[in-house]
């Protein structure tokens, strides 16, 4: 393995220069939160795409601006804990993100054609969790206030915003192909400041109050367990914020190659 690593980064690179590049990534999106038990849940991965415009400095540090789109989701039926299975919650959400990211190469791009890099930046994303009710109908969850958000009976529970900031961090491996195309494998985590990507954060509210304020469907989708709601039933854990992530294979090239300029 050590010999392979040395071989991958030891090929001389020629022709690297300052220029604008375009990158397109196809891959997957996922999430970690109140409905998952692992940092990366392979069963819940869904398709994602990403497009970047990057300024390649020809040195260690590059800056890029990107658009990303993917779908995240999870369901308690896929968890191994019986407590979570009995909770029986689920959600899906599309994620649309714009970002500005700095990449730092971990080897000299002027010397090597293949090398690792790390990334960090800032982004803004939009989400809108929904689920399927017992009749198979798609229902958006935020308007239902399933945990009492925005209700006068629960003044400490505010409505969560559907557009929020995130902090992208991640790593990747880049390889130059025939002096024109750049192939990368990348994984990027999004640190968020919300616990409501999945519409699940804290404890259950009084279902009678919720039904009176928001309707019977709100109460039915707030508690989907078997039998009556008890004090021992757990809905969410407000101690940890939710995160989502993108990963995949990326192909890039200089803009001059796309528009025929030399």
pLDDT at 59 over 70: yes
Question: According to the model, what pLDDT value does residue 99 have?
Answer: 98
pLDDT band at 261 (very low <50, low <70, confident <90, very high): low
DSSP H or E segment with residue 135:
none
CATH class for the domain made up of 14-130+160-195+239-255: mainly beta
Q: Render pLDDT for 91-114 as a digit per residue (tens, 0 to 9).
A: 999 999 999 999 999 999 989 999
Mean pLDDT over 163-181 rounds to: 94
pLDDT at 181 over 70: yes
CA geometry: angle 99, 178, 110, nearest 5 deg: 65
Q: How far is residue 237's CA from residue 195's CA, in Å, rounded to a whole number?
A: 9
On the 0-12 / 13-18 / 19+ scale of CB atoms within 10 A, 260 is exposed
pLDDT at 260 over 90: no
Domain ranges across the chain: 14-130+160-195+239-255
pTM of the model: 0.88
Which string of DSSP letters, residue by residue, matches 62-113? EEEEEEEEEEEEEEGGG-S-HHHHHH--EEEEEEEEEEEEEEEESS-TTT-S
């Amino acid at each position: 393995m050590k010999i392979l690593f040395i071989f991958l980064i030891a090929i001389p690179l020629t022709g690297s220069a300052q220029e604008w590049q375009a990158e397109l990534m196809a891959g997957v999106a996922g999430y970690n939160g109140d409905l998952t038990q692992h940092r990366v849940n392979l069963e819940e991965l869904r398709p994602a795409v990403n497009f970047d415009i990057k300024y390649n400095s020809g040195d260690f540090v590059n800056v890029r601006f990107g658009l990303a789109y993917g779908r995240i989701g999870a369901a308690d039926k896929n968890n191994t804990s019986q407590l979570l299975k009995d909770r029986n919650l689920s959600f899906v959400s599309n994620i649309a993100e714009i970002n500005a990211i700095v990449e730092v190469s971990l080897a000299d791009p002027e010397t090597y054609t293949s090398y690792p890099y790390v990334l960090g930046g800032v982004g803004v994303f939009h989400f809108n969790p929904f689920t399927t009710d017992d009749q198979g109908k798609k229902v958006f969850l935020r308007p239902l206030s399933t945990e009492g958000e925005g209700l006068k009976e629960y003044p400490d529970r505010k409505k969560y915003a559907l557009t929020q900031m995130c902090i992208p961090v991640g790593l990747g491996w880049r390889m130059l192909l025939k002096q024109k195309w750049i192939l990368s494998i990348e994984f990027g985590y999004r640190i968020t400041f919300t616990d409501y990507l999945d519409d699940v954060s804290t404890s259950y509210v009084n279902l009678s109050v919720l039904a009176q304020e928001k309707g019977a469907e709100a109460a039915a989708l707030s508690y989907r367990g078997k039998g009556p709601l008890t004090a021992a039933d757990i809905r969410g854990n407000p101690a940890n914020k939710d995160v989502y992530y993108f990963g995949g294979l990326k192909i890039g090239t200089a803009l001059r190659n796309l528009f025929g300029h030399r």
